[in-house]
Amino acid sequence: MTPDHLRTALTERMTEQGTKWLAGACASVTTDPGVVRGLFPLVGRRCGRGPLDPADPHGWTVDDAARSLLLAAMPLAGAALLEEIGELYRTGDAAERRAVLRALPLLPVGDGGLPLVRDALRTNDTRLIAAALGDYATDHLDADTYRQGVLKCVFTGIPLAALPGLPGRADAEMARMMAAFAHERTAAGRDVPDDIGPVLALFPDVAMPGHRDLQDVSTATTDRRSPREA
Amino acid sequence: MRIFDPHIHMTSRTTDDYEAMHAAGVRALVEPAFWLGQPRTSVGSFLDYFDSLIGWEPFRAAQFGIRHHCTIALNPKEANDPRCAEVLQLLPRYLPKDGVVAVGEIGYDSMTPEEDEAFAAQLQLAVTHDLPALVHTPHRDKGAGVERTLAVVKESGIAPERVVVDHLNEVTVRQVVDSGCWMGFSIYPDTKMDERRMVAVLREFGTERILVNSAADWGRSDPLKTRKTGDAMLAAGFTADEVDTVLWRNPVAFYGQSGKLELDDSQAPGTDATFEGNSVLRGVRAEV
């Protein structure tokens, strides 16, 4: 996702009024990045909030994209940029925090955005967890935290297909964790989410506790009703 | 029966409550910022609480098909603690947020000079941020508290139709009815008001500018009191339309003055027309 992609996607999803407001807002933060603090909370009301791609309800929203363009328009780098986005995240509501997480790969922050990703992964809000595990986490997050994040998705009902880091970042340890999870679920007589199947399939040699129970994993019914378990 | 509970502290309630509320017809609510059973001792404690009201709690409510909004303020009791009063300076960062539909709960607990100061300052915040105000009235010495509340509201210059004076009863409603302010009633298991008494108030004063809430919190309270009041109204001969006025259209009209209510068309058919800025009306939710 680049600013140009976002701009193109947004043209079909915003009213003329919203488009004008966003252009003006981007111009303002280019001149004076400090004004972003007042503009950031208004974006949902001015630009809209639905999915950017109606076919992808778990992906970017219109307000995510608009807020990301605002952040990308700031003429800041390094510590100053990190301080500004850190403050927007800390003082943001859930939608503002989600947007900061989404925008990370568009911003020249190196590894500096990782504390925000880790903060989001400590929540139980699926919107934040999914946004935290986007392209930025795929490229920057350490293996242990990434694996825990993926497992948290399985627990909270976030479809693994929403993670750009899979299957690329899947490894034997991740497969082992998922196998153990599936074993517990099967032992409890509960359903196993079927989207762990592809990760397991990549590592057929991983020692799986009670692996005989897992033969039906790929066809098991998905239990997605309970995002509260986390 | 569709229900909008205009005052309920969901932070203190369980997921069973959310399920039961949805089953009873609750589709939207407002959670006012208030005190907890355990007093706070620092500004940081407030900020985590406010963050929850614009973060975690709306997420939790959404799992059960209920739209969650909130009001933000320094409550009157904790306005008396100098360690907490500083939070007043930080309120402007919360008031522009999407889900914040009023300044509240503000008002009096013990009617101290500190409470005077916080109340007046926060009415001004409501004016400058173009938000309605939710005003708590004291449980002790309520009559005098309501009197003083109305005087401060008048002096502040905020439009009375943008203020709800809450926790009224048969006695104190008479003081508020001519002020132009909205009248809030909290229906409780054994204090404040009950369903039967509420029906009597509605018979005498009509349904205009009246809000009925459960004010359910961490004390003995019942999040289904809105529904039970609706049932009591029907049993007493009120029409379904009058019940809808009290339990849905009135809270939508009052909090809709913020321009920030978010209601689902599908869940709230017939919520129409006059509340500009709220997303039931606006074509900006990207369904364009």
Residue B284 lies in a domain: no
Question: Which residues from A are below 8 Å from B286, CB to CB?
Answer: 13-14, 48-51, 61-62
Q: Which domain holds residue B173?
A: 3-258
- Specify the pLDDT at position B288: 23
- Specify the pLDDT at position A206: 84
Residue B267 lies in a domain: no
Residue A50 distance to chain B (closest CA, Å): 5
Question: Which residues from A are below 8 Å from B98, CB to CB?
Answer: 41, 44-45, 93, 95
Tell me the pLDDT tens digit for each residue of B12-69: 999 999 999 999 999 999 999 999 999 999 999 999 999 999 999 999 999 999 999 9
Give me the total of CB pairs closer than 8 Å, taking one residue from chain A and one from chain B.
62
Residue B280 lies in a domain: no
Residue B42 lies in a domain: yes
Q: List, in order, residues 6 or more apart from A147 with CB less than 8 Å away.
A: A171, A173, A174, A177
Give the pLDDT mean for B143-161. Answer: 97
In the predicted model, residues of chain A with pLDDT beneath 70 are 207-230
Asked if B54 lies within 8 A of A94 by C-beta distance, the reply is yes
- Specify the pLDDT at position A1: 81
In degrees and rounded to multiples of 5, residue A215 shows phi and psi of -60, -30
The CATH code of the domain that includes B219 is 3.20.20.140
Residue A222 distance to chain B (closest CA, Å): 18
Q: Is B141 exposed, middle or buried (0-12, 13-18, 19+ CB in 10 A)?
A: middle
Question: Which residues from A are below 8 Å from B131, CB to CB?
Answer: none
pLDDT-derived band of residue B276, with 50, 70 and 90 as boundaries? Answer: very low
pLDDT-derived band of residue B282, with 50, 70 and 90 as boundaries? Answer: very low
Residue B281 lies in a domain: no
Interface contact A124, partner B, CB < 8 A:
yes
Residue B87 lies in a domain: yes
Residue B182 lies in a domain: yes
Give the pLDDT mean for B188-193. Answer: 84
- Share the mean pLDDT of chain B: 92
pLDDT-derived band of residue B111, with 50, 70 and 90 as boundaries? Answer: very high
Give the pLDDT mean for B222-229. Answer: 98
Residue B18 lies in a domain: yes
B245: how many CB neighbours lie within 10 A of its CB?
Answer: 18
Tell me the pLDDT tens digit for each residue of A64-82: 999 999 999 999 999 999 9
- Specify the pLDDT at position A27: 98
Asked if A47 lies within 8 A of B284 by C-beta distance, the reply is yes
Interface contact B288, partner A, CB < 8 A:
yes
ipTM of the complex as predicted: 0.88
- Specify the pLDDT at position A9: 94
Asked if A48 lies within 8 A of B55 by C-beta distance, the reply is no
In degrees and rounded to multiples of 5, residue A36 shows phi and psi of -60, -30
Alpha helices in chain B (DSSP H): 15-24, 43-53, 56-62, 82-85, 113-128, 142-156, 173-176, 195-205, 225-235, 240-244, 250-255
- Specify the pLDDT at position A56: 84
Residue A34 distance to chain B (closest CA, Å): 14
Total domain count for chain B? Answer: 1
Identify which of B63, B285, B287 has the shortest CB distance to residue A227.
Answer: B63
- Specify the pLDDT at position A222: 46
